[in-house]
Amino acid sequence: DTGVSQDPRHKITKRGQNVTFRCDPISEHNRLYWYRQTLGQGPEFLTYFQNEAQLEKSRLLSDRFSAERPKGSFSTLEIQRTEQGDSAMYLCASSLYQGTGGETQYFGPGTRLLVL
């Protein structure tokens, strides 16, 4: 089953360090989304791509966050100078956009980040 995969699944880092997460979407999906979920809350949108173009970024995505999707395949999310408030589950989702919207997003297992 080639669903959405994320790597690593868990990351513990010290405050001030940089971390990078990777997401591999379902192969034919052209859209890729990043969300952040803190304990007991619903996911919050961070950014999304259509192919390699980044179409929208949330105000939650401070200057310390950057996301890329080179060649429209996998995506990386980097957090620079991590802070304790960055501790959360980072979820990736992908979908097949066919022009009308409302397509189902398929989620990966997430990367749980703990900043000490």
Partner 1 sequence: AQTVTQSQPEMSVQEAETVTLSCTYDTSENNYYLFWYKQPPSRQMILVIRQEAYKQQNATENRFSVNFQKAAKSFSLKISDSQLGDTAMYFCAFMSRIQGAQKLVFGQGTRLTINP
Residues in the site for partner 1, rule: CB under 8 A? 31, 33, 35, 40-45, 48, 55-56, 91, 93, 97, 100-102, 104-110
d(CA 4, CA 94) in angstroms, rounded, equals: 7
d(CA 94, CA 75) in angstroms, rounded, equals: 11
Could you tell me the smallest distance in angstroms from the CB atom of residue 44 to partner 1?
Answer: 7
Q: Report the residue number, 3 or 16, with the smaller CB distance to partner 1.
A: 3
Q: How is 53-88 classified by DSSP, letter by letter?
A: EEEEE-TTS-TTEEEE-GGGS-EEEEESS--GGG-E
Q: Report the residue number, 33 or 65, with the smaller CB distance to partner 1.
A: 33
Could you tell me the smallest distance in angstroms from the CB atom of residue 69 to partner 1?
Answer: 15
